[in-house]
Each structure stands twice: as C-alpha cells, then as structure tokens.
Structure 1
C-alpha cells in the first residue's frame, strides 16, 4: 500500500512545483532564471530557496525535467491517436508532435535541446543509443528527463524494425572508424540492462540507423526553431515533410507515405499561424 504523503511532504512538493512553474515562466518571458530571480519572484530569500535546490545546476535540472515531461506528454498523446500495431503512423505522429511543441515553445526547446548550460544533447543521444532495443527503463536514471525522451523514441523504433525489417548495416559494411565509435556506444557485453527484446542485443548497425534518423529529425526542427530556413518552408511544413520522407526511405515505410502524410498534417494543424 502506498503511504499517504504527510502535510509537510505535500507542502514541500507544492514548493518544488512552484519553483518549476516560476522558473519556466521567467524562461518563457526572457527573464533571468537564477536562484536570486526565482526566489524574488516567489517572495523568498536565496538562502530559503537553497533549502529546496542545491545549486543553480540543480534548479535547471528540475526545469529541464519538467520540460521533457511536457514534450513526452505531447508526443504520447499523438502516438496514442494511432493504432498500437501501426508503428509507422505512431512515429510520424510523435515526430510531428515534437516539431509542433518545439515551434510553440521555442525558448524552452532551446534550453533543453540546444543549450550547453543545461541538459546536453549528446547526453540525450547517448541515452537513446544505449537504450536502443533493450530493457529501456533499466538504462537510465529514473529521475532523468532524458530517460523519458530516449525511451519513447527507442521503443517505437524497435517495433518499426519488427514490422518492416528495414536493412541494418552489418559490421563489415560500416567504415572501421565509425564501427569503433558505434561499438563504444553499446552497453557492455553481458550487461543485464542490455536485454534481448524483439531485436536481440543492439548492434552497431542498429545504433547507426537510429542515429541517422534522429539527426535528421532534430536537425530539421532545430533549423526551424531558430529560423535558419525560409519562413515558407516552416509554415508549409515542406522541409519537415522532406525529412520524414528521407527517414521513411531508410525505415522501409516510403510506400505508406500517402497515408502517413495525413497523420503528419493533423499534428501540423496545432502549429502557430506564424513560424
């Protein structure tokens, strides 16, 4: 039986929630997300806030996890509009939802996906690769926002391979230097967390396919968020559509694009009218 939180525990959790809420509001409004600024907004002194966070990095970690939870929640809603046995529609819907969230929440996207001061993208990618086609929840700390994001996409990727059997490069087909890098990203041999799952133990080729798909999606969305492409390519979704077609070709789902395009379009309707 789960213990009922005490009044003191509820009050402490409410303060944590307020810290995150205030921090995110400051971030969205272009304010300074510092210990002093957050404390002042809450009517506290900085020493009082330090009773809840150990450092500025700890504060940013709380905020980043909250943002990751929102991103994953949006992708989960999109994924769950599609049938469980239709991973191609699920990955397209989730990817489109990720893009829609990023374009609606540009400042927060930049914090957790493009800022060296908070959660690093290379940490996210390492998390995905070690989690790939394994017992996902065992690969990363339970309190990691990156864990949520990594597990989400890795799980769908595994089901895509099971259904479509897209080509995965063998070790002999990979450049030796690349192969060495990819092997370094795999869980240690014999590590119980590497599991077996539907694909068996992850291989360098699996990691490479996942890396390429993620790089295309993330790169395209980042260019759009920062406005580094023509506004028309954002508002029409043309660049995103082309990216998903490229990914789909690698994952053996190109023939389904006429159907999947409707899935992507439905998510795109949630975008702001102006990029």
Structure 2
C-alpha cells in the first residue's frame, strides 16, 4: 500500500515543482537560469532555495528531467495516434513531433540536446556538462535522458521485427567499435520460449544502425533549430523529409514513404 504524502511532503513537492517551472520559464525567455535568479523570481533568498537544491547542477538536472518528460509526452501523443502494429508510422510521427517541439522550444532544446556546458555555477566552480550527442550519452540518468532514448529504441526494435532490415554482423564491424557497442547491451530481462532474447532485442549491429539513424535525425534538427540552413529548407520541411527518407532506405521502409511523408507533415 502506497503511503499518503504528508502535508509537509506535499508542500515540499509543490515548491520543487515551482522551482522547475520558474527555471524553465526563465530559460524559455532567454534569461539567466541561476539559483539567484530563480530565487528572486520566487521571492526567496538564494540560501532558502538551497534548502531544496544542493547546487546549480542539481537544479539543471531537475530542469532537464522536466524537459525530457515533456518531449516524451509530446512524442507519445504522436506515436499513439498511429496504429499499434505500424511501427514505421509511429517512428516517423514521433520523429516529426520531436522536430516540431525542438523548433518551438529552442532554448530548452539547446539545454538538453546541444549545450556544451550548463550555466556556470555561482560558486565559481567548473560548469557541469549538459550535452547529448547520442541517445545514451552524457547527461546523468536522473535527468531523464534514458527515458528519451528508451522511447525511440522500443519502436526501433519493433520496426526491425516487422521489416527485418539488414543489420551489420559482428564480423562486419570494426573491432573497437564492436567492443563499444557490446558494452551498450544490457542483459535481457525477457527471453523467448527457447530461452533466447526476445525478437528485436538489441545486437551490436542493431545499436549501430540505431545510432546512425539518430545522428542523422539529431543533426538535421539541430541545424534547423539554429538556423544553419536555408530558411526555406526549414519552413517547407524539405530537409527533414529528405533525411527521414534517407533513414527509411536503410530501414527498408522507403517503399511506404508517400504514406509516411503525409504522417510526418501532419506534425509540422
């Protein structure tokens, strides 16, 4: 039986929520997201705020988790609008929803997906890294990065089960890369009737395909967010569409592109 939070616990959680909400609003407005700035917005002193967060780095991790939860919720809505047995439509709709979110929330995208460092802590110490160039990269796990990565990897596994696209065998991968990829594979929690991994369970080759697809999607969206391509490429969705078609060719879904393109455009 789950214990009912006490009044003090509810009040403390409400303050945590307000801290994150205020920090995200400052971030969206392009303002300084320091402990001092957040405290001032809340009518508190910095020492009072430090009763809730131990450091600026912890504040940024809480903000990052809130952002990731919102991104995943947005993508979940797009995914669930498609048939559950249509992973091609689900992954395209989710990717397009991610792009639209990124273009609409540029400052928040920059914080969790494209910042080399976070805002420098007020104590003068070195800034904590907040960067994600891979779905399983550098953010602390409690920031929510795993939640984001798991969302896409689950659909990707079902996509392979349905389309059986070619994936590199271990012998085809560079030995150093193979070692890295093997390190990314966790022990399977579920096995099939013969005791083997479930269909669509990750292999080094599958993880490599996944990372390559993600790098193309991430790279294209990042270029669009920061306006490093022609504005018409962004407004028409032409660059994103071409990128998704390139990915689709490797995943054996290019034959369905007219249908999938319409699904993607519905998210623009």
TM-score normalized by structure 1?
A: 0.86
1:34 is matched with 34
Aligned mate of 1:125, from 115, 136, 150: 136
Task: Return closer, same or farther for 1:123/1:100 CA change in 2, 3 Å cut-off.
Answer: closer
Name the CA distance, whole Å, in 2 between partners of 1:193 and 1:227. Answer: 42
SS in 2 for 1:83: coil
- Assess if the C-alpha contact under 8 Å between 2:62 and 2:143 holds in 1: no
- Cα distance, 1:124 vs structure 2: 3.6
The Cα offsets for residues 226-249 of structure 1, whole Å up to 9 and x where unpaired, read as 100000000000000000001101
Name the CA distance, whole Å, in 1 between partners of 2:208 and 2:53. Answer: 38
- Cα distance, 1:126 vs structure 2: 4.1
- Cα distance, 1:123 vs structure 2: 6.6
- Cα distance, 1:144 vs structure 2: 3.9
Task: Return closer, same or farther for 1:180/1:147 CA change in 2, 3 Å cut-off.
Answer: closer
Name the CA distance, whole Å, in 1 between partners of 2:189 and 2:18. Answer: 35
* Alignment of 1:238 onto 2:238: yes
* Alignment of 1:168 onto 2:179: no
The Cα offsets for residues 251-272 of structure 1, whole Å up to 9 and x where unpaired, read as 110001111111001001xxxx
Name the CA distance, whole Å, in 2 between partners of 1:17 and 1:223. Answer: 32
SS in 1 for 2:52: coil
2:125 is matched with none
Name the CA distance, whole Å, in 2 between partners of 1:167 and 1:90. Answer: 20
- Assess if the C-alpha contact under 8 Å between 2:135 and 2:214 holds in 1: no
- Assess if the C-alpha contact under 8 Å between 1:79 and 1:91 holds in 2: yes
Q: Which runs of 4+ in 1 moved over 4 A?
A: 192-195
**Count of residue correspondences:** 251
Name the CA distance, whole Å, in 2 between partners of 1:206 and 1:153. Answer: 13
Residues 16-27 of structure 1: pairs in structure 2 closer than 5 A: 16-27=16-27
- Cα distance, 1:197 vs structure 2: 2.8
Gaps of 5+ in 1: 128-139, 269-275
The Cα offsets for residues 105-163 of structure 1, whole Å up to 9 and x where unpaired, read as 00110000011324321574349xxxxxxxxxxxx95x441121011001000000000
1:56 is matched with 56
1:107 is matched with 107
TM-score normalized by structure 2?
A: 0.88
- Cα distance, 1:207 vs structure 2: 1.1
- Cα distance, 1:186 vs structure 2: 3.2
Name the CA distance, whole Å, in 2 between partners of 1:123 and 1:216. Answer: 11
Name the CA distance, whole Å, in 2 between partners of 1:123 and 1:230. Answer: 25
- Cα distance, 1:173 vs structure 2: 1.6
- Assess if the C-alpha contact under 8 Å between 1:126 and 1:185 holds in 2: no
**More helix, by proportion:** 1
SS in 1 for 2:136: helix
- Assess if the C-alpha contact under 8 Å between 2:135 and 2:211 holds in 1: no
- Assess if the C-alpha contact under 8 Å between 2:23 and 2:63 holds in 1: yes
